[in-house]
Amino acid sequence: MKLLHQLGHNYIWALDSYFKNNIGDGFIIGAYSIEKDKIGGELSGYKSEEYLPISFIDLQFYGSKASNGRKLKTYDFHPINHPKSSATEISTVDAVLAGIKFQEKLGLTNIIIPNLYIHTDKEEQNTKLLRTINAKVKSHKKQKKEEASYFLTVPISGSLIREDEEVEKLLQELTDMEIEFDGYYIACESNLEARKKISVDFKYYSNLNKVISTLKKQGFKIILGFANVDALVFAALENIDYVSIGTYENLRNFNIKRFTLENTGGKSDGWYYSEKIMNFISANRLEIFYKRNAIEIIRNEDNIFSDVILRQGYSWNTHRPDVHKNYLLAISRQLKKIGEGKTRQERITILERMIKDARKNHKEIEKKGIIVDDESSNYHLPLWLTILKTPSSGVILK
Least confident window among 25-39, 205-219, 264-278 = 264-278
In this prediction, residue 115 carries a pLDDT of: 93
**Residue 200, C-beta contacts closer than 8 angstroms, at least 6 positions apart:** 193, 379, 380, 383
HEC profile for 210-277?
HHHHHHHHCCCEEEECCCCCCHHHHHHHCCCCEEEECCCHHHCCCCHHHHCCCCCCCCCCCEEEECCC
In this prediction, residue 47 carries a pLDDT of: 97
What average pLDDT does range 329-355 have in this prediction?
97
In this prediction, residue 71 carries a pLDDT of: 93
CB burial of 4-40 (b: ≥16 within 10 Å; e: otherwise) equals: bbbbbebbebbbbbbeeeebbbbbbbbbbbbebeebe
Per residue in 278-325, pLDDT (tens digit) is 999 999 999 999 999 999 999 999 999 999 999 999 999 999 999 999
Handedness of CA 227, 233, 236, 239 (dihedral sign): negative
pLDDT of 149 > 90? The answer is: yes
Is 348 in contact with 388 (CB distance < 8 Å)? yes
CA 42 to chain centre: 24
Q: What is the pTM of this model?
A: 0.94
Q: How confident is the model at residue 124 (pLDDT cuts 50, 70, 90)?
A: confident
What are the sequence ranges of the domains in the chain?
2-259, 271-388
pLDDT of 87 > 70? The answer is: no
pLDDT of 260 > 90? The answer is: no
What average pLDDT does range 210-233 have in this prediction?
97
Looking at the structure, give the CATH architecture of the domain made up of residues 2-259. Answer: Alpha-Beta Barrel (3.20)
In this prediction, residue 120 carries a pLDDT of: 64
Q: Provide the mean pLDDT of the chain.
A: 92
Assign 41 to helix, strand or coil: strand
pLDDT of 85 > 60? The answer is: no
H or E segment and range at residue 130: helix 123-143
In this prediction, residue 38 carries a pLDDT of: 97
Query: Could you tell me which residue, 347 or 176, shows the higher pLDDT?
Result: 347
What average pLDDT does range 171-199 have in this prediction?
94
pLDDT of 125 > 50? The answer is: yes
In this prediction, residue 89 carries a pLDDT of: 46
Is 298 in contact with 326 (CB distance < 8 Å)? no
In this prediction, residue 86 carries a pLDDT of: 46
Q: Percentage of residues in the chain with pLDDT exceeding 70?
A: 94
In this prediction, residue 88 carries a pLDDT of: 42
Name residue 110's beta-bridge partners.
149
Per residue in 25-40, pLDDT (tens digit) is 999 999 999 999 999 9
In this prediction, residue 84 carries a pLDDT of: 62
In this prediction, residue 121 carries a pLDDT of: 64
How long, in residues, is the chain? 398
d(CA 30, CA 7): 6
- Please name which of 77, 59, 79, 80 lies closest in space to residue 68, comparing C-alpha atoms: 80
d(CA 100, CA 136): 11
Q: Percentage of residues in the chain with pLDDT exceeding 90?
A: 78
